[in-house]
Every structure is written in structure tokens, then in C-alpha cells.
Structure 1
């Protein structure tokens, strides 16, 4: 567990071009999928659009290619809603906060060890043809395809009670252990928290495991859900490996056509030249050993209305207010926690880890945590929430235990190993 298990039988992607057909063969897929020459040409055209010309490129030790793209040539600016957009290089004002302990061990990205992007450029993880092919179709690449299952829980966590239609192959289910805060009276303008970083075991390539924060408005039921999401994840289907990676996501209509992971569509405007969205994180925490964490924040700039992302002390970039509907004003609820995807057939549970792969009661150096949870209010002040509500789909599989103390403020441990004698 906790990244210490090895993955056997990981699928290989084999491409053979013959008579205008590409046969895509993978052990996790049902049979072979054939890609026509027309579809291949569409993918190539997409890659030409999304992979902008770079001033220079960096070969990362994990296999990624990081392109240093001029900041004014990045994909977000192709969005028709941003046709007259002026890039905001820094937030006009920061949320005000005093006190707290935010000491964490330094966590970086692997590509930082071998190169850097010059000023005036941003690092973009190059999208490859195999990345698109793993998604099953160009229309599904970089996106979540979700359907809703009813729940007896309060409205915010219902956003997690999803089934997922991955590509066109199978249905999967989200499992979670989260804390959340809903405010129907006072608008919310962001959140900050520190996330313990692990490399959880993922059973099959179509599953993932993550730890993140959500800034939300609207609801899935009304198809007006707006979300901003940021955290770390292990997702072989997206990245082609089992590395732990920094990720972001957004949607303006309940994942129904708008939004995407990272910079795979016209949305997030990056301004920083040192952080690659989607890049691998290193080092990660070990069970009973060194612990590594990252502090993330998402906050609304009071002047521009843009939603800024920070990674540690770095202002990475922002989601422009123009791409949202409800979040163009404020958020109404926040969530923090872990998710996994279960694709096991016949109702069985996956053995994919959440967090470290150990339950919350294991505590520090063993379980995953999110600590020093803060919210941004209408006065642009950062403060701990008065209370949070916790929820988990099945505590025999993954659980959560919350705390509130002087050093870590509002915090919780969470996670679990999945399939066991109690989690079937």
C-alpha cells in the first residue's frame, strides 16, 4: 500500500499504421480499437493547436517534454470569451492572514532538476498522440464524462456521487472521503490548505487517486455546476504513468462540454515560468518516514474578478472570470479531500489506494492529511472555517477523521486501502 506495491500487467499502447487504420491495443481495453486516418488527422490538428511553438523544450527525467511557450501565445487565449483579454501578471491584492504554521518540506517538480523556462514564457507539458488515444476519443481527451447518482447526503457532496463513463468502454464509480463547507448566506471567495503528498497504488490504468480542493457554485442536478479544482493525482489514463502530479480542473456547466484538466483546453491563464501544470511532483511522503506537503490556494482577485492559483509561494496563474457563469461572482461551497475511481466489475471494490493507502486513525507519517484549512471571506480575509462537515462513501474502504488544534488548525487525516475483508 501507499505506493509500495508494484503494478503488474500495465497495458502497453501499440500503434500500427496500415491501410489508413491505426490499431490501438491495450490489455485493459476490450479488444482492439481502430482509429481511422481521418480521426488521426483530427488528432494531429488538435495537437498542432494545443502544443504552441516553444522557445525551447526540456526533457524531464520522468519522460515529459516541457515546452517553454511565450506567455501571450498560450492555449487559454484562443478562447473566444478571452478575445480581448489582457493578461494579469500578478493579483492586485492578496487575502489577509496572520498566524498559523505553514512549514513544509520543499517539494518540487522533476523537470526543475534539469532545466528552466526563461522569463516571458510558461512551461507547458507537451501533449502527445498517445495521450489522446488513451482517452478513447478526441472529444473525451482531458475531460471528465460524468453522470449523476442520487444520494441521501446533503447537497454539496452529491457532486461526488457520480458514475463515470470512461471513453466508450465501461462505467466506473467515484468513491470519496471529504470535508465540506456550504454557505447560503455569506459568499465565499476562495480557500487555502496544505496537502500531504503521496504516491498511492492504482490498481488499473483506468482508475485514479487524488487529493484536492474544490471551489464551487451551483449544482450538478441543475446542470449549472461551476467548479475550480486543484491538487495532486495519480492517473495513468491521463499521463501514461503512475507518477504523482500537480493538476487543475474547471467546468462552467457541470462537466458538460466546458472545462478540462490542466492546460488541455482554452481556460486557465498561466503567468509563472517555474511550475508545470500536470508535471510530476518530487519527493513524496513515505510510510513512517519523511513527509512532504504542498500548500495550495485559490482566491478571487477583488479587482479583476479572476480566480488565482498559488502553489507554495508561487502565483501560478488564474481562471478568468469570463469563462464562468456563477463563479464569475462568488462560490457557495468548498470541499477538501480524497477521491478514487472504482472500475471493478460485478460490484467488487478496487484495491486502489486513497491517500497513503492507510486509514485516518494511523495518523501522522502514515495517513494522508489536509491541514490548516482556510477560507477567504467577502472582506478578503483568510480565516479557518467555524466548522466543517465530513462524509465518506464507505468507511470500511476509506475514512476520515477531523481535528482542530493550535498548530494545524482545521485539519483531517483520510484514506484507506480499498478492497479487503470488510471492503468487498
Structure 2
């Protein structure tokens, strides 16, 4: 590295202690620029910051200076501050919501974010969770920090539509309910909040609602839910996340705001921040309500949290086919590990870490699942299929008989006597 380049690197480190120096003999400026983009304090003026009791630092950054606008397709993007319509006004959805709230008001409690105990961000700013030095230093590649590993492995693989056509994606195990075949423009679900074991730092466990479209080798997807992902967040807390990709995570997409793309509008939610309380086997269940929907006037894909908070959106410029509609909706869990599909299997758990149990309700679940297609009505889909990549490691159970509203139970411990 040239003397003036090293001097610049050290100057930046002194100005912003959370950014590690990353001297490299190959493309040093590219690495430095990547680190600079991921650390809002270097690019943007911070109006306020909050130190959370869980160790997070939340920077309040001007909504117009957020990382999304570093994306080449969004350089001249005009922010949409709110959806052009209220997606919750659908009478079918309102009725289901009212009925469910009456039945479960005492059992299912509101989930909050830990950082809000220490303050909030003012209007006109968005909260951005600061990426810590030790997390970046552990990353194998700064270029791929915050991204999932590429998802396809076999030439004859395809997106799951039926059990017979599904092929295990590289180093991933999923247990989910899916619907496919229509043009979907919204998906919703109430996801039980858990804190599953994650064995190694380069593994993760997530539970989410996802919309997908496109061929297996280049599919596009958006998803949101909770994650335990030490590789991205530096610990094993349960955190709220969003994720997107336009090419099966080959070169595009990321969690939260770790790359340009997602446009945040809410000053109440910090993506990647820890959530609480967590459900326990002998305690009350806690849920997050995630709703992903397309704005018909702008084609932006919005993420709504808890029936009322619009976190932000993915602009259609990020996608090709998904810019207008999705072909598949999935609800459930995903585990990533290089020890999947072969012994010794990872001990990283899915859901609560317990196999599906409708009777006791101690496993992971998704309830009040909804889609919206061209009928423009939020409803439970007419056709669904439940599937698990590894039934002996992570199972799935779909309950629709004797229930007014079908429910999905899923999860498992990973390695166990049936899954060596």
C-alpha cells in the first residue's frame, strides 16, 4: 500500500474508531470504500446516536443520506415517505384481525426493540445500527459482508413447488409452507419469536415471510422476520431483519442496510436491532407481525411491522421480474451451515429448537398467514404445500383441520439421534 493510502486509512480510523483499518495489497481503495459505505458515520452526518443496553450503537441519520442511495439505480430516486394506500383496510383482513385479537389478547404479547429503552430518533432521520469493528474483522470478505452465500448447487435444481421437484440448496435446510402459481403482490404472517441455538459464528437461523420469483439459478426474493446471525450481527441475540436479492444471492442483496438497496422511512425501527421479549417453553408466546406488500402506484415493495409501522421499501429498480409480482410465497424457517446434508450435522437449531408440537405450542410457528393476488383480497391461499429439507433434523407440521385459521408449526434441534 502506498504511503499516502495508508495515511488516509489511519486518518479515517482516528476519525471513526469503529471502523477497522483494512490495509491490503490488492484493491485497497475498494475495500476501504466498502467499509466506508457500511459505516454511516463516515459518509453521513449523524444527528444523534443512542447506546443501547445490549451493546448496540444506533446512529440517527438523515433520511436523505441513507445507504440506499449509493445504489447506481437509485441515485436520482425520490423517497416515498408512506404507502399510497392503507393495505390493512381490507374487510376480510380486519375481521380476521379482530377475531384473533379477541381470542389471543392475553396470550400473545407485543414485541419491542431493545434500543428504544435508551431513546429514539427524531423525525426526518432513520435509526441505523452501527456495524462494529470486531464483526467486520471476522468477515471472510468485506465484499460479501451482510450477504447470504449463493443459494444453488445443482444444474437440475429448481425453486420448490412440490416435494418431488425440490432440491436442497447449498448448505441450507428449510422447513416451510409455500404457495405458488398465482401473481402475488402481498404476504403476511405472525411469527413466534424464539432464540434458537447457533453453533458456529458462520451459521445462522432465521424465521421469515418471503416472496420469490424467477428460475432457480437467478431467482429474486424479498423476506423479513427475525434472525440469529452472529456473522452479521456479532452475537446470538434475536434480531429483526429484512433481506433481498436479485440473483439468488450471487452478487446482489443483503441483510438490512448493509448494502445499498432498501429504503428506510421509519424513525421507530432499527433494522438488525435486538427484539424482546423472547418466547420460552414455559412462558408466554411472543410474535412479530410481518407484512410485505407492493404499492400499486409506485411498485415499491413495502415492509410493515406490527400492523401499523411501515419500515420502508425495496424500489422496483432493484429487480427484474419481482418488480411487478411474485410467483411463490413461503413461511417458515431456514438454517445455514456447511454441515448440512452430511454428518456430523450442525447443532444449529430452527424455530425454538423443538420439533413441531401443535398441542403444547412449544415449537416455532407462523399463524394468520395471508396472501394477496389479483383478487385484491388478503386471504389464506387456496393451495399450499408444507415441506422440510431434512425431516429428521427440522420438521414441519401444517394444521388446518378444526381450526378457523390454518397454522404452521416447524423447527428442530439439528443434530440428534435421528440426524447424526
Mark yes or no: TM-score above 0.5.
yes
Deviations 1:49-101 (A, max 9, x none): 33132101011111111100111111112222112211111101233233112
1:160 touches 1:176 (CA, 8 Å); kept in 2? no
Query: Where does residue 279 of structure 1 map in the other structure?
Result: 273
Query: Where does residue 412 of structure 2 map in the other structure?
Result: 416
2:158 touches 2:216 (CA, 8 Å); kept in 1? no
Secondary structure of the equivalent of 1:333? strand
Please report the TM-score for the alignment, with normalisation by the length of structure 2: 0.85
* Partner Cα separation in structure 1 for residue 159 and residue 234 of structure 2: 36
Task: Please state which structure has a larger fraction of its residues in helix.
Answer: 2
Residue 152 to residue 84, structure 1, CA distance change in 2 (3 Å): closer
1:372 touches 1:408 (CA, 8 Å); kept in 2? no
C-alpha deviation, 1:407, in angstroms: 6.5
1:66 touches 1:123 (CA, 8 Å); kept in 2? yes
Residue 264 to residue 417, structure 1, CA distance change in 2 (3 Å): same
2:266 is aligned with 1:266: no
Residue 269 to residue 117, structure 1, CA distance change in 2 (3 Å): same
Structure 1 gap segments, 5+ residues each: 1-17, 19-33, 164-172
1:363 touches 1:413 (CA, 8 Å); kept in 2? no
* Partner Cα separation in structure 2 for residue 405 and residue 196 of structure 1: 21
C-alpha deviation, 1:128, in angstroms: 2.7
Query: Where does residue 160 of structure 2 map in the other structure?
Result: 155
Secondary structure of the equivalent of 2:400? strand
Query: Where does residue 36 of structure 1 map in the other structure?
Result: 24
C-alpha deviation, 1:321, in angstroms: 1.1
Query: Where does residue 362 of structure 2 map in the other structure?
Result: 366
Secondary structure of the equivalent of 1:303? coil
C-alpha deviation, 1:361, in angstroms: 2.5
* Partner Cα separation in structure 2 for residue 110 and residue 236 of structure 1: 17
Query: Where does residue 114 of structure 1 map in the other structure?
Result: 118
**Root mean square deviation of aligned Cα:** 2.6
* Partner Cα separation in structure 1 for residue 51 and residue 378 of structure 2: 39
* Pairs aligned (count): 382
Deviations 1:357-413 (A, max 9, x none): 111036444111000100012243211112310111121111111122687612211
Query: Where does residue 251 of structure 1 map in the other structure?
Result: 245
Query: Where does residue 321 of structure 1 map in the other structure?
Result: 316
* Partner Cα separation in structure 1 for residue 294 and residue 253 of structure 2: 18
* Partner Cα separation in structure 2 for residue 234 and residue 143 of structure 1: 14
Query: Where does residue 296 of structure 2 map in the other structure?
Result: 302
* Partner Cα separation in structure 2 for residue 405 and residue 271 of structure 1: 40
Of 227, 230, 235, the residue aligned with 1:236 is: 230
Structure 2 gap segments, 5+ residues each: 1-5, 7-21
Query: Where does residue 180 of structure 1 map in the other structure?
Result: 178
2:82 is aligned with 1:90: yes
C-alpha deviation, 1:130, in angstroms: 2.6
* Partner Cα separation in structure 1 for residue 402 and residue 377 of structure 2: 19
Of 328, 344, 347, the residue aligned with 2:343 is: 347
Task: Please state which structure has a larger fraction of its residues in strand.
Answer: 1
Structure 1 range deviating more: 120-129 or 378-387: 378-387
